[in-house]
Amino acid sequence: MDKGLSLRHVTISKGGAPLLSVHHDIGPGEVLTVMGPSGVGKSTLLAFITGTLAPDFQATGEVCLDGHDITHAPPHQRRVGILFQDDLLFPHLSVGANLAFGLQPGGTTTERKAKIAEALDEVGLSGFETRDPATLSGGQKARVALMRMLLSEPCGLLLDEPFSRLDAALRAQVRDMVFDRARARELPVLMVTHDAEDARAAGGVIVTLGD
């Protein structure tokens, strides 16, 4: 069983006109960066991998994650984590409850609380459990969103322009944090971006679409 995320002959088209084709293996802890101007279908590729492709697109090819073919699996059984440029924390839940939403079921309440406290601690947000996500700063929200995703124990990670809403100082900091965590957990990462600096910092293979 080969670990990692494999895109095999993936082609996405709309109304018969091909949008993009990708064929690539991303090993554990590696980053593949997909670049290209907006409108070229970068996010569509991610929607295909998460299983949320809009019905007006057609896709062929296979997606394999850790040796399992997930091309036709329902979105919630794919074990693919995703971060968007907006933090998309659930506004009706506290910070702690957002993390608990991500945390895999199992364990006693005390154990779950401990795991959440630990996760917050890891990103320097100790004691933030009861906070309203809307009262957090941009950097803090990004960190909560990252930990929420990691607590769901994904086997692969998708990043959709994840840092473009952050200002320059925060950007490098959050970016390093995301890539460090992904490497430490040996997750294959697929990032789409139009920012050359993000692509350089990722340090992996860069594919450019729409040429």
Segment lying near other proteins (by CB under 8 A), choices 9-17, 61-69, 71-79, 110-118:
71-79
Instruction: Please tell me whether residue 98 adopts helix, strand or coil conformation.
Output: helix
By the rule CB under 8 A, 72 interacts with other proteins: no
68-69 β-sheet, strand order: 17-26, 5-14, 57-65, 68-69
Spacing of C-alpha 114 from chain mean position: 24
Segment lying near other proteins (by CB under 8 A), choices 13-21, 107-115, 132-140, 193-201:
132-140
By the rule CB under 8 A, 17 interacts with other proteins: no
By the rule CB under 8 A, 24 interacts with other proteins: no
Distance CA 111, CA 30 (A): 32
State both tokens at 47.
């929607």
Distance CA 154, CA 157 (A): 7
By the rule CB under 8 A, 92 interacts with other proteins: yes
Phi, psi of 173 (to 5 degrees): -65, -50
Shortest separation between residue 134's beta carbon and other proteins, angstroms: 4
Q: Which is nearer to other proteins, 111 or 132 (CB)?
A: 132
Shortest separation between residue 211's beta carbon and other proteins, angstroms: 28
Shortest separation between residue 93's beta carbon and other proteins, angstroms: 8
By the rule CB under 8 A, 28 interacts with other proteins: no
Total residues at interface with other proteins (CB under 8 A)? 34
To which H or E segment does residue 113 belong? Answer: helix 109-122
Q: Which is nearer to other proteins, 19 or 149 (CB)?
A: 149
Distance CA 201, CA 173 (A): 11
Q: How many CB atoms lie within 10 A of CB 24?
A: 14
By the rule CB under 8 A, 86 interacts with other proteins: yes
Instruction: Please tell me whether residue 197 adopts helix, strand or coil conformation.
Output: helix
Interface pick for other proteins out of 28, 36, 41, 102 (rule CB under 8 A): 102
Residue 13: strand pairing partners: 18, 58
User: Which residues between 139 and 198 bind other proteins (CB under 8 A)?
Assistant: 148-149, 152, 154
Distance CA 71, CA 16 (A): 20
By the rule CB under 8 A, 54 interacts with other proteins: yes
Interface pick for other proteins out of 38, 52, 60, 208 (rule CB under 8 A): 52
Q: Return residues touching other proteins (CB under 8 A).
A: 47, 50-52, 54-55, 74-82, 84, 86, 88-92, 94, 101-102, 104, 132-135, 148-149, 152, 154
